[in-house]
Structure 1
Amino acid sequence: MLRIGIVGTGGISAAHVEGYLRFPEECQVVAACDIVPGKAEARCAELGLSGVRAYEHIDAMLAAGELDLVSIATPPSTHAELTIAALQAGVDVLVEKPMAPSLEECDAMIAAAAESGRLLSVVAQNRFRDDMATLKEVVDSGLAGPVSHVQVNSSWWRGTAYYDLWWRGTWESEGGGCTLNHAIHHLDLTLWMLGAPSSVTAVLTNAAHENAEVEDLSVAVLQYERALAEVTSSVVHHGEEQAIVVHGRHARVSQPWKVVASQAEPNGFPAPGGDPALVARIEDLAAARSPLEHVGHNGQIGDMLDAVRRRRRPAIDGGDGRRAIELVTAIYQAGIERRTVDLPLRPGDPYYRAGTLVERAPRFFAKTASVGELPGAIVVGSSNDGDR
């Protein structure tokens, strides 16, 4: 029986606890930690957990020496310090997205995992969705042909009060705006399906949240060898209509699910009816996929529990988390400096270092409120799983 600790008992901690409770024969949550006095105890009671030891400091929780795995569900600026402490204490780690605000911190986390011999996984729960797994399988099959254009809409909506929470809305504590903390899901999926681009260009703005320093909208173009990907990152889109649309040479496939295969007339214009045979082949491939046994956080937690038991690489490791941060960093660098940024980013690049965004990023507005808690339930996505 694996012994689990939860570090940070805010809104997203419920998704972690629910995931562990799905595997009662394999693990038990035995400890919880939060810097706010009494919050860990209250959260455990709210989630129906009994016999959980509560702590206010991770050092005390780790010193008890009873943990096999911890979930770190704290603000992004704390991820590196807490992850490294757990790894050095001999405990495996599942850390929430985003991995950390800087590549320097990501590399320190990866190094700590390597030096300690422990496992490090970064939450990217959308890879454990049947719709996204189907889209990847179809793209990987080659039926749609070489990819030419991808449209990624990470469209969320948040009211201004969202940024009143104490750690949100500043470059220092949140690490960024919607590009880092919301679109990280779609950017990870883009990397998962297409690999890393060779260069990035982008623009950033704050269109509707006058109480936050950070961006609430960005548009980036990712350059591949012969393809382009457009990524819109937003918390200003009413209806939160998210999509990934992949256009290949032979067909378009997307989630929400749609398949279109055009076919040319002799003059090059599209023929009526397109290519129904290719559409049928793609639909048959998608229909033949076996559904995932567990989805979202539950799926990733199940994979991590298996990885801890078998001492294997988790499906999503520190390198995967780092690649997503590298892409976010390139988008920020391109938007701030108003130029194309080539990948990969090297350690000598100023944006590799912790603190550069805090120094160089625009303060679109001043943060005007800082409250310890916000009332109401957290909504994890709309029709799509996502934010915290």
Structure 2
Amino acid sequence: MIRAAIVGAGGIAGICHVPALRAEAHRAEIVAAVDIDAARVKDFCAEHGIPAAYTDLEAMLAEARPDLVHVCTPPHLHAAQVAACLRAGAWVLCEKPPCLSLAEYDAMAAAERDGGPYAAVVYQHRFGSGARHLRHLIAEGELGRPLVAVCLTTWYRDHAYFDVPWRGRWDTEGGGPTMGHGIHQMDLLLATLGDWAEVRAMAGRLDRDVDTEDVSLASVRFENGALASIVNSVLSPREESRLRFDLTEATVELSHLYGYENADWTYTPAPHVTDEARIATWRTPEADVPSSHTALLADLLDAYERGERPETSGAGGRQTLELIAALYKSALTGRPVRRGEIDDTDPFYREMNGGMDL
């Protein structure tokens, strides 16, 4: 059995991570949980039947000796906690955003070892059957060449949401909705279209009392020539997560909020595509696997058992974070940013806002 531990006994741990681990109970068991609040972690363990409660991460790593640690703490704690787990020989599944900067991400990756342990990021939308099916169709050339994409994370978070001390601050959350909310949809955009080449962006603080942005807009050129428009917002009363891909053979659309099923995807053939049997294959993935922590964890445990790098670790986890850093740099400097230009000499490498005020 794979011995799993959870660090951070807040909402996301109980809502998403515990059910994902229970779904893999045939090969994984939860042996411990950690939280700085002793009463909270004790209650969490009692509620979920977890045998050992800790208030110190290092003590848990030494005594419980987990094979896999789920890091569910606020973003500013991730880098140090992930590195500690890796040094102890434990694989990691880290909530988004994985850290506060590219510098922190690279430091975490440096603690990995060939064959494991590895640190994977919670980018669960890649793993639903609808997304896997679309990626397969595009890879096979079945839908033609990608041309245009739209990526919307238009959510609503009221003023009280930002009363939590670490939210809406560059030094503890790393950014606003671009970093903490839209990261999921942008990751699925990149997983579908591949490497991005150039970003031109704007960001604003329009209504919420935060240090970061509460809305951002970006235009992105991909290496394959496709162009995409991105909106990230926490000011939108009608909430929606939406992706649209226009290819030479079809338009593919996904509309949901926090997770999708196959029924949330629609395929509209181009006027010249009239073969109904062909079109039917687009709309019918072999299985219906919702995007979820459960689907992601299954893939991660498969990688663990093979001793292989998980899809959302290493370069696979960094790609989206680099796009976000470039979006912020473009928005704050007023100029386009190309992939790869944010190196370790760039202020945006160490801070998502490059030390600048919005």
- TM-score, scaled relative to structure 2: 0.91
Query: Which residue does the alignment assign to 1:21?
Result: 22
Query: Which residue does the alignment assign to 2:11?
Result: 11
Deviation for aligned residue 1:192: 0.5
Cα distance between partner residues in 1 of 2:276 and 2:231: 28
Percent of aligned pairs with the same amino acid: 34
Cα distance between partner residues in 2 of 1:98 and 1:279: 42
Closer, same or farther: CA 349–150 of 1 in aligned 2, 3 Å: farther
Deviation for aligned residue 1:356: 5.9
AA at the equivalent of 2:76: S
- 1:1-388 aligned at under 5 Å gives the runs 1-14=1-14, 15-46=16-47, 48-51=48-51, 53-114=52-113, 117-209=116-208, 211-225=209-223, 226-256=225-255, 257-262=265-270, 274-277=271-274, 281-287=278-284, 289-291=285-287, 295-355=291-351, 357=353, 359-362=355-358
Q: Are the counterparts in 1 of residues 116 and 308 from structure 2 also a CA contact under 8 Å?
A: no
- TM-score, scaled relative to structure 1: 0.84
Deviation for aligned residue 1:59: 1.2
Closer, same or farther: CA 28–258 of 1 in aligned 2, 3 Å: closer
Cα distance between partner residues in 1 of 2:345 and 2:277: 48
| C-alpha RMSD over aligned residues | 2.0
Cα distance between partner residues in 1 of 2:268 and 2:288: 25
Closer, same or farther: CA 335–102 of 1 in aligned 2, 3 Å: same
3-state SS of 1:237 partner: strand
AA at the equivalent of 1:40: V
AA at the equivalent of 1:335: A
Cα distance between partner residues in 2 of 1:356 and 1:128: 27
Deviation for aligned residue 1:240: 1.4
Cα distance between partner residues in 1 of 2:249 and 2:304: 42
Which 5+ residue runs of structure 1 have no aligned equivalent? 263-273, 363-388
Q: Are the counterparts in 2 of residues 138 and 282 from structure 1 also a CA contact under 8 Å?
A: no
Q: Are the counterparts in 2 of residues 152 and 244 from structure 1 also a CA contact under 8 Å?
A: yes
Closer, same or farther: CA 341–237 of 1 in aligned 2, 3 Å: same
Cα distance between partner residues in 1 of 2:292 and 2:6: 18
Cα distance between partner residues in 2 of 1:156 and 1:145: 32
